[in-house]
Amino acid sequence: MKLSAYRIAANKLRTTRILSIKIESPTVKTFTFKDKECIKAKPGQFLMLWIPGVDEIPLSILDAKENGIISVAVKKVGEATEALHSKKAGDIIGVRGPFGNSFTIKTGRILMVGGGTGTAPLLFLAKKLASETTKLVFVIGAKTIEELLFIDKLKSTLAREKTQLIATTEDGSYGIKGIATTPLETLLEKEKFDMIYTCGPEQMMRKVFDLAEKHGITLEASLERLMRCAVGLCGSCVIGGYCVCKEGPVFTAEQLREVKNEFGVSKRDFDGRKIPLE
C-alpha cells in the first residue's frame, strides 16, 4: 500500500455543527453531524471529536450515511463527555478521522456480542452484514432496561429470518437476567458460528474471547485505550507492541493471544504506567 507523505494533512481537524442529539438512555446520547471525510468510514473505525476548550476524545462511529451524516454515541463518563452532553444542536465541534482499521466483512453464521456503547460499531456492522449473512445472532447486555441501547434499531436491522436478538440485563428488568456473556455458553454449545464480533467493556470481551477460544471460533474485538495523536506516533494507546489507534482498534484472535497478559487485564495510564482495568 502506497501512502502519500501528506496523508496526515488529509485528515486534519475540521469543525462542523451538531445536527441533532438523541437521548438513547439516561447516560447515553447520539450526536449527528456532517463530515465529508467520515462518509467513507467503515464499521469499527473511530474518530477524534474535539469539544472546543475542553478536550478531544476518541469515539466509535455508529453510522456514516452516504449523504455525509455521521453519528456517534457518547456515554457520560467524565468532564469531556459531560461537556459534550450539555451541547445543543447547532453548536460547534471538531472532527479528525476516520482512524484505525475496521471489522473484517464475513458472511456465514455470525455472532455479535455488544456491551454498553460498544454496541455502536456492532450495530453499524450489523446493518452492512444483515442481508448477506446466513445467520446473525446479536447479544446485547446492559445494567438495566433503561441502559439497553439501540434496541429499536437492532430490532429493525434484525427483522428477518435467521436472525436473533438476545438481550441481557443485570437486574433482570429486560430479557435474560445476567451479563452479556451469560447466554453465550449454552448458545455456543448448541449452535455453530463462523465468526464472533465483540465490542464493549474489556473484561466482557475477554470472557467472549476465552469462550471463542474454547469453542474454536474466529473472533474480532474492538479495543479502547487512552488516545492522543490517533496516528500511531505518541504511543499512549499501546497494548503489547500494537498501537490501538493504528493497528487497531479491531484485533483478531491471533493478535489477542499475543497480548493475553494485557487484554482484559491492564491498560496504560496518562503517565504511561500500566494500571489494572477498572
Q: Closest approach of Cβ 208 to other proteins, in Å?
A: 24
Q: Closest approach of Cβ 176 to other proteins, in Å?
A: 38
Q: Closest approach of Cβ 16 to other proteins, in Å?
A: 9
Q: Closest approach of Cβ 267 to other proteins, in Å?
A: 12
Q: Closest approach of Cβ 156 to other proteins, in Å?
A: 36
Q: Closest approach of Cβ 92 to other proteins, in Å?
A: 6
Enumerate binding residues for other proteins (CB under 8 A).
3-9, 11-13, 15, 48, 50, 52-53, 55-57, 92, 94, 96, 227-236, 238, 240-241, 243, 268-273
Q: Which is nearer to other proteins, 56 or 147 (CB)?
A: 56
Q: Which is nearer to other proteins, 53 or 276 (CB)?
A: 53
Q: Which is nearer to other proteins, 48 or 184 (CB)?
A: 48
Q: Which is nearer to other proteins, 17 or 22 (CB)?
A: 17
SS3 for 147-178 is HCCCHHHHHHHCCCCCEEEEEEECCCCCCEEC
Residue 104 CB contacts under 8 Å (≥ 6 apart), including other chains: 195, 220, 250, 252
Q: Which is nearer to other proteins, 77 or 233 (CB)?
A: 233
Q: Which is nearer to other proteins, 220 or 247 (CB)?
A: 247
